[in-house]
Chains A and B, each alone.
Chain A
Amino acid sequence: MNETGLLARRYGQSSSANLADVLERVLDKGVVIAGDIRINLLDVELLTIKLRLLVASVHTAKELGIDWWEHDPTLTARAGQR
């Protein structure tokens, strides 16, 4: 750990966090309380499994020429067009 390590890092550096690190926390962790809008957690968990593969930002992945989710029916079937 160098001088600019944890000492310099505080909350508020969130924009630089690795997307996989963020996703595994916000999708998989955190307190679950029943919202009024119920989403099918099973679906989300399936998505999470897929996302375990995704350890870079979408942008980085695209730069690497990886865009399987754009052709993956389980990820796009119900999504429609942006």
Chain B
Amino acid sequence: MNGPAGRASYAYAVARSFDPTRLAGVRGVDGAEVHLVPYREIVAVVSPVPLAEFDETALRAKLERLPWLEATARAHHAVVDAVAACGVTLPLRLATVYRGDERVAEVLRQDYPRFRTALDRLEGRVELGVKVYSDPRATAPVTSPPASSPGRDYLRRRRVQHRARDDTWRRAAAAAARVDATPAGLAVDSRPRPPQSPRLSGARGENVLNATYLVDAERAEEFAARASHLESEAPGARVEVTGPWAPYSFAPPDDQGRA
């Protein structure tokens, strides 16, 4: 069952067959070169990893270690990205590991209908992320007239600040709703995601909307432009468009993806 010399096979993605030379030089987790495992007209993209370092115990320990997790997540994503440049791609969850390429081929055979259906659905489509932030500092600074007493002045400033923040939040929320409504008309599907905390991001403002959209590739520009344009209509809202991503959020079948 084991691969040669205690090697396991780390699987990144399932795709339609494509010219493997297009992945020449692409390295995955642990710096190993990736290769294709074919079954009929689909392929899995895999690279060898040392079994001892990817057995359950080792993997669990490593997953809890953030520097390793970051490096692995980025390596995984870089391969998925390279595969997506070659054609329609189903990204697999991080750390999907088999005891050898023949096991990968077996899984392709077993799940073939499911992979085919998903690949058909995602053909020619990309995932775009849209985040809307409420950014109180983006509004004009409040200037208060001279007050009769410092205390009253302070209270008035606080009141004005609060109102400004509420207004900004309201505008950002409205922009978020419009992002979700307007460009969503251009999207085939969408998934809400939990807002990201600004605590560590250094991103200004509060993340009001964090959503991801499945868009026909030829409409991606238009979608991004429309989403970004909403920023100019909503002072205090900042819109960030990311992607194109391989369709991570839409690759799982509906029963799995919507859970």
Contacts and interface: CB of A to CB of B under 8 A. Distances in A.
Interface in A5-23: 5-7, 9-15, 17-23
A79 B65 contact: yes
Contacts of B197: 52-53, 55
B67 A43 contact: no
A53 B200 CA distance: 7
Given A15-B74, A25-B245, A5 B224 contact: yes
A11 B94 contact: no
Contact of A38 (B56, B91, B111): B56
Interface string A60-80: 110010100100001111111
Contacts of A14: 74, 77-78, 80-81
A9 to B, nearest CB: 7
Report the interface size class on chain B: 35 or more
Contact of A11 (B54, B203, B224, B244): B244
Contact of B97 (A37, A54, A58): A37
A31 B92 contact: yes
B242 interface: yes
A54 B248 contact: no
B131 to A, nearest CB: 9
Given A12-B82, A55-B196, A56-B202, A44 B63 contact: yes
Where chain A touches its partner, the secondary structure class is: loop
Report the interface size class on chain A: 35 or more
Nearest to A55: B201
B2 to A, nearest CB: 10
B91 A26 contact: yes
Interface in B146-197: 193-194, 196-197
A20 B93 CA distance: 15
A78 B100 CA distance: 27
Choose among B11, B59, B96, B99 the residue with the greatest number of A CB atoms under 10 Å from its CB: B96
B77 A25 contact: yes
B228 interface: yes
B199 interface: yes
Given A31-B90, A31-B93, 14 more contacts: A6-B221, A12-B81, A20-B201, A23-B73, A24-B196, A27-B73, A27-B94, A29-B91, A30-B252, A31-B256, A55-B198, A60-B202, A61-B200, A80-B61
Interface of B: 8, 11, 14, 54-56, 59-67, 69-70, 73-74, 76-78, 80-82, 84-85, 90-99, 103, 107, 111, 118, 129, 193-194, 196-203, 220-221, 224-225, 227-229, 241-246, 248-249, 251-252, 256-257
Interface of A: 1, 5-7, 9-15, 17-27, 29-40, 43-44, 47, 51-58, 60-61, 64, 66, 69, 74-80, 82
> Which 3 A-B residue pairings sit nearest by Cβ, starting from the closest?
A55-B201, A25-B248, A11-B85
